[in-house]
């Protein structure tokens, strides 16, 4: 299975309560809390698309979008 390539990390700031779970679980430190205590993407180039932030967000405020790779090239 090919490694997924990041298209975007979408954060619904209205839903984010700033708990910081996503920030602490990200193995590559892609996310941080801003001055309003909301999650923001600061290093998208480091994202490995593990989706830990998306899977563990209690508010369902994060979506990791990936590009479709070629399965049988």
pLDDT at 65 over 90: yes
Tokens of 27: 């193995």
Domains of the chain: residue spans and CATH: 5-67 (3.30.70.20)
Task: State the pTM of this model.
Answer: 0.83
Condensed to tens digits (0 to 9), the pLDDT of residues 23-59 reads 999 999 999 999 999 999 999 999 999 999 999 999 9
- DSSP3 helix / strand / coil % (the chain, rounded to 5): 20, 25, 55
């Amino acid at each position: 299975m090919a490694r997924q390539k990041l298209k975007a990390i979408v954060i619904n700031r209205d839903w984010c309560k700033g708990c910081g779970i996503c920030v602490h679980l990200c193995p590559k430190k892609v996310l941080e809390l801003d001055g309003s205590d909301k999650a923001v993407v600061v290093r998208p180039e480091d994202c490995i698309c593990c989706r830990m932030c998306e899977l563990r967000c209690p508010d369902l405020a994060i979506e990791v979008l990936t590009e479709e790779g070629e399965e049988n090239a």
